Chain A
Amino acid sequence: MKRFVGFIKKEFYHIFRDKRSLFILFGMPIAQILLFGFAITNEINNVDIAILDHSKNVNSTEVINKISSSKYFSINKFLEMESEIESIFKKGKVKAVLIFEQNFGSNLIKEKKATVQVVTDATDPNTANTVSNYVNGILQQYQKQQNKSIDPGFQVLPETKMMYNSELKSVYMFVPGVMTIILMLVSAMMTSISITREKEQGTMEILLVSPLKPVQVILGKVFPYIFLSIINALIIIVLSIFIFKMPVQGSLLLLGLESILFIVSALGLGILISTISETQQTAMMISLMGLMLPVILLSGFIFPIASMPYPLQMISNIIPAKWFIIIVKGIMLKGVGIQFLWKESLILLFMTVFFIVVSIKKYKIRLE
């Protein structure tokens, strides 16, 4: 036991003396959360649009006022002719042009049906889509008001309710993903690097020619990173709760335990990587290419798994991150407990045990 404690003490010396890694270790989660939270978002704000109003009557002006007063759009220019549309798009000044038809007002009142054409710049399809949805919303709202004041007509309007993330805040979607990436990176990459560093420096030779058991070396390497990863997970949760007002509907304790489970599985992967790589550089490459990319692309963090081709969906099943993201979303956003997440947790547990067993089996008691 004393040997083990001595080993862990040494590991902490390494970690705290390597200022650069330490900065990455704790700077990265903060930077990523802030980046995803503020900069990268699906919401739109103050999108520049242009208006081409052929009717120019009371109703169209009212609609235009409504649009310009919303926080989503700012009107960049009023156009006079259709021919101007193309050039304004080419200049890239606006994301959308709204065209009110000639008899917008009268059509609206007499026929209860008027057309606004929304022309969007689809080189940025996401924004285009969102813009047209928002414009539709505003128009429907206006129509509803008109109907109320003039004539309560019969109209069935679809109403969508977004459950669990009613405001569709993208940060809520990103937090679980970012947390997964960071825990994966810190745990897997840092452990694999720290083990391969011993190989590269030649100190592994001395450790092998000592009474230390393989399991002691592995646990000694893993333990400090479990500790650091938990701190990281806490930082992320605290940031998302206090800065982004993200609700945690479910049990924090469960979230903590699940995180530890995921951390241990990532550490297992890290040790596995270190058994197949001889240098720190290889370990880093394998961690980045072999772990980061699948986590970002296939875990459902950015691209929905349901819309992937079938083979990729199958592959996503063997990625621990996928299951962890489901669990985190479940706990944080839906507030469900273990009774709904036991299946995912069990899969994660099974993977963890598998990685640890394989890496201990693969750990070499000799140099070759």
Chain B
Amino acid sequence: MSTKKVIQVNKLTKNFGDFKAVNNITFDVGKGEVFGFLGANGAGKTTAMKMLIGITTPSSGKANVAGFDVNTHAEDIKKNIGYMSQKFALYDDLTVNENITFFGGIYGLTRKEIKEKSIELLKELNLEDVKNMLVASLPLGWKQKLSFSVSLLHNPKIVFLDEPTGGVDPITRRHFWEMIYKAASSGTTIFVTTHYMDEAEYCDRVSVMVNGKIEALDTPKKLKETYNVKSMDEVFLKLVRK
């Protein structure tokens, strides 16, 4: 893991009226790191992530993502990141190939690049036989893997994953994490937001957000040692009930 920082967040805050959704958070994420961004629903995860991907402007504080300032260069950030969420991934009523072409197109790839990439991608995911099938007809696990690959089409520096493996069957889930590790080892930073604590166990480092603040940040192993518990689930329980 290199020490180069691709995400640097400094005293980032977002207020909605009197309510501090994100309250003065500071952290760094290194290149090629799998970073878990945890918190309960409503803890401020989504708001924080929206600021990092340049959809929401911060109330105060600074953040640098993929080398660009979120306050001034939000558009440049969008070109250098990928995004995948469980809720919205691919268009169900388009075929596998059409989805790849469409997303390749919006990420600004040329026709030739799209063609090369899609051949490579279909081969890697073993989806060559179903490339002309509607995405709706694929099993959930395949869709997840395809959608992750699509988010990597334009070689982004960082991929943001929103609860990527919730509800997926255990074996597919492992395949998915293998893909994540592979992307990370080739230098892509993976930023996972989730409230599933077992997803957290797979990350290199995790931060736990409670009521807009980051209450803990370390490797899962160290966090478990610090709180003297066996799982991240228990770490979380201890932090929230504190």
When A and B assemble into the complex, do they touch directly, with CB atoms less than 8 Å apart? no
What residues make up the interface of A, taking CB atoms closer than 8 Å to B? none
What residues make up the interface of B, taking CB atoms closer than 8 Å to A? none
